[in-house]
Copies of this chain bind each other. A is one copy, B any other.
Amino acid sequence: MKTLKVIKIGGSIIDQPKALNEFLVKFSKIKASKILVHGGGKLASKLADQMQVEVKMIEGRRITNAETLDIITMVYAGKINKNIVSKLQQHACNAIGFTGADGNTIVSNRRPIKNIDYGFAGDIKHINTKILKLLLETNITPVFCAITHDENGQLLNTNADTIASELAIAFASIYKTELYYCFEKNGVLKDVNDDGSVIENITKENYLALLEQNIIVDGMLPKLDNCFHAIDRNVQKVCIGKPEMLFNSTFNHTTIQT
């Protein structure tokens, strides 16, 4: 079985042109089949400011009204995605940018309204691997932004971490898939202020203890949910850390294990 690396990058790389470019140079040299998933960083909020559109957040989550969806579509699928694709081409990595609507690759349901109406937010229902597999076999690197669709003409804002884990899971039966969450820290830290305090391995057993000790909090909770979700569904390797972990096997990071 061939290896497929699904690599997610977020704001800590995307918001810094120099860091992004350095990352893309190294990423383009990865020989295995690969899919890049990127978040949006701060650019969407910046554009909303310029356009004087109010960014609504409830409990730390963006509420995607129609105006915000337009902004996200412009920034994620337009500016960020196409600039990444053109930089990858420069470094001889033949990439194609995707939303979930392209090739009908990622189908979502609009999140049902319970206590909060998240607006045009989508929860992934199904991934169609056929076109992506065909492209991967032709040495194309798909680059996904955090937008999916509902098959009824509606684009939907979808969490990039979840897109990465669901893509890894969808390909786990045809590739030896590896899932990498790149962010600004060396991994999951015992002490959030000490980048040396990386927890090298997290299993379901020590995870419960880490939760009880309030070591895993805030944004790390859904990220680890995505990690365990993937490792439970035949993804072979799940790692969290700085992008350097991709290019240097001895670079400190956290590995999630069954």
Contacts and interface: CB of A to CB of B under 8 A. Distances in A.
A74 B85 contact: no
Nearest to A52: B50
A81 B73 CA distance: 10
Copies of this chain, whole number: 2
B86 A79 contact: no
A155 B83 contact: yes
Interface in A146-193: 147, 149, 151-155
Contacts of A96: 96, 98, 102-103, 131
A88 to B, nearest CB: 9
A82 B147 contact: yes
Nearest to A151: B89
A92 to B, nearest CB: 9
A223 interface: no
Contacts of A85: 99, 101-102
Interface residues of A, number: 43
Contact of A78 (B51, B74, B89, B149): B74
Interface centre among A78, A83, A90 (most CB of B within 10 A): A78
Interface string A64-98: 00000010011111110111011101100011111
A134 B223 CA distance: 36
Q: Which label, helix, strand, loop or mixed, suits the secondary structure of the A interface?
A: helix
Contact of A77 (B50, B82, B89): B82
Contacts of A98: 96
Contacts of A154: 86
A138 interface: yes
A151 B90 contact: yes
A140 interface: yes
Nearest to A156: B86
12 contacts: A50-B50, A50-B51, A51-B51, A74-B78, A78-B81, A82-B155, A86-B99, A90-B152, A94-B103, A95-B101, A96-B102, A97-B102
Interface of A: 47, 50-52, 70, 73-79, 81-83, 85-87, 89-90, 94-99, 101-104, 130-131, 134-135, 138, 140, 147, 149, 151-155
